[in-house]
Structures are given as structure tokens and as C-alpha cells.
A and B are shown apart, each in its own frame.
Chain A
């Protein structure tokens, strides 16, 4: 077996070689290996990594940025993306690439002593972006927050969503709803 194709290295016999079962076996095995590579790419294309998680009623201490703990996965692929019981604040990128991140943090029901709220996204504990809301001219009503954006992640990078309630007179506030979605594009 003395020849092979220039790019993928598919082995074939050359003139003078004995063509036997091994000649076909080697070529077939090489083709099989490359088809496995293609099948892997196909799976990445058709089953792109994504996660859609929620957490409920997490008590967040005022004036402190707090990572949210997502204890329910409505959808996760692959499973390594997010674990609801071990480090439920962490979303671990399974492959290199660009991801669309969308968070929803409900501020409904904040006490009247709150002055501002903001929620944000971190990558490997570094804040990349956030969204804030205030009392809307003194009215005790807070709009919900939706930090979102495009993230360039390497496999293993850790994404989190945090919230910070600013204000006085109260210690903690529990929102009824937090959502985080990450999708590989």
C-alpha cells in the first residue's frame, strides 16, 4: 500500500502492489473515518448546543451582585452545558463559537425602598454586559430586565447571570422568575 490521497490520506495500492483484501479494507477504513468526521459536523449543525433554564424565588441580598441559581432545565443540549444541582449558576460552553445569550430577570414586586436594579451576564466571572432599571420617576414600579447579547466563547468558558437590587430598608428580595437562554449560532 504505497499511495494515498493528498488531503485526507485515503490509502490505495499503486501499480505493482498486490491488490488484496487489505487494500480494500484500508481504503474502506479511511473513508469510514472521514465520514465519521462529517457526521460529527452534521450533528453539530443539526443539534446545536442550547440551554433554556429557569430559577424561581431566589433570595437576593440587597446591594450585592448575586449569581442566579438555575435549578430547572427546560431544555439542555448537551447535558454538560448546565447542571441544575451542581454549580447551578454555571453554564459551561461545550464548544468554541458564538453564542446568543438572553436573560430575563423579573423585578416585579420590588419594595418601595429599592432605588435601582440591574442584571447582567458574566463570562469567566468578568462582567460583559448588563441592564438596569430605576423607579421610573419615583413610581414604585420596576420594569423587567433582559440583558442579552452575542458572546464569543471557548469550550469550557463559564457564563452566569447576576442580579443586583439597589436600595435601603430591606435585606433581600425574591423574584418569581429568572430565565437564561444560551444558543450556539
Chain B
């Protein structure tokens, strides 16, 4: 029995006794192995894994002044997509997002912030989206990827403000360990505002998403 050079498909050699049925069975089985491998590889690259989480309840009491982090950071809610806190629903194209694999990711967030009480017109609303990748064997210092959007509250018809920010970050696995849940390691949202007369409410329907778009080859 001989085999082809690239995909090892078998065929009878010159001194083959000519068991045609068995030869064809070997051939069919070998072809199947290669076809399944090709299909699996194509499907893997086609069905990109990602996740979208959406809040299902208001988050109240966001005070003015310094940056507040109602989600992420210390809680690590956003890692691994499948286990966000109770107020987040997760949907995705894959069954489980493995965010802790090396790659380039697009990530983003959308929020609607409404003052719980008095609106201080034309005061600042600031949304920061961050990804922190810890220092480790592959780089010396912690990497911070920050994207930020600012706007002002016009007090128009009680709409509050709608904010949307999106960016990219690269993540390199550190000694095959899963990212932890701390300020230096994970996604996070930061909200700051100057509405001193009342707290803000982050309305239900806020969204956060992430998707791997490329491998990193070192």
C-alpha cells in the first residue's frame, strides 16, 4: 500500500494482490479523516468566539467625583463570559468564551446614565473602558489598554446620556494561568461624573462585548 505525499491517502502499490474492496474502504476512511479535519478547521476559524453581556437591572448610587467601577475590576465579572454577575445575561456564538487565550481582542461597552434626582446641566459624564494585562514572563510591566469617552448632560427630556466606547487589546497568556480577578488583571468599566446634586443610575440594558479577532504569533 502506498500513500500520497501530503494527505496520506492510500492506494495499491505495484505488487498489491488487488483486494479492491478493502483498498477502497481504506481509501474512503482516509479521505474521510482528511475531509473532517478540513471542515473542523474551517468551522473553527469561521465561528469566532465572542460574548455579549447585557445588564438586566439598574445599578443605582453612582456618586460624583472620582471614578467608580460598578462592574469589573475588583470583581472580575467580565472574564470568561459565562459567569458574569446576576444582572448580566450572556450570549455568544460559541458555547464558552475562553478569553484567557493569547490573541487580539475587540472589546466595547454601552451605557445609559440618568441622574436619580436633580440634574446639573452641562456637567461631565465620563466612561472609561479598560483592559489590564498583568506583568509576567512575556513583558516586564503591566499593560493597560484604556479607551475613554466624555460628554455633557443636557437635561433633555430625561434621556440622560448614552455613551459607547470600543477598542482593542492584545492578551498574552502568562504561564498558561487564567487571569485573576483583580484591578490589574481583567476588563473593567469606569464611570465618573460631575452631577453633584444627585447620584447617577446606570440603566438596565447596558452592554459589554468582547471578541477575539486574531492570534498573536510571537
Contact = CB atoms under 8 A, between A and B. Distances in A.
Interface of A: 3-8, 10-17, 19, 23-24, 27, 31, 34-35, 37-38, 41-42, 44-45, 63, 96-98, 100, 115-116, 118, 120, 128-138, 143, 146-152, 166-167, 185
What is the size category of the interface that chain B forms with chain A? 35 or more
Interface in B168-218: 205, 207, 209-211, 213
A120 B161 CA distance: 12
Contact of B35 (A31, A115, A135): A31
30 contacts: A8-B32, A8-B36, A10-B32, A13-B25, A16-B21, A27-B28, A31-B31, A35-B35, A38-B38, A38-B39, A38-B42, A44-B46, A98-B48, A98-B52, A98-B211, A115-B156, A116-B159, A120-B162, A129-B207, A132-B151, A134-B151, A134-B154, A136-B122, A137-B152, A149-B209, A150-B209, A151-B52, A152-B92, A166-B156, A185-B50
B42 A150 contact: no
B61 interface: no
Contacts of B47: 97
A151 B50 CA distance: 10
The B contact surface, by secondary structure, is mixed
A137 to B, nearest CB: 5
B108 interface: yes
B162 A129 contact: yes
B188 to A, nearest CB: 18
Given A41-B42, A118-B162, A152-B52, A15 B19 contact: yes
A37 B166 CA distance: 35
B24 to A, nearest CB: 4
A128 B25 contact: no
Contacts of B161: 132, 134
Contacts of B207: 128-129, 149
A115 B119 CA distance: 14
Given A35-B35, A98-B92, A130-B112, 6 more contacts: A96-B93, A129-B164, A129-B207, A131-B163, A149-B108, A150-B50
A41 to B, nearest CB: 4
Contact of A23 (B24, B31, B91, B210): B24
A7 B32 contact: yes
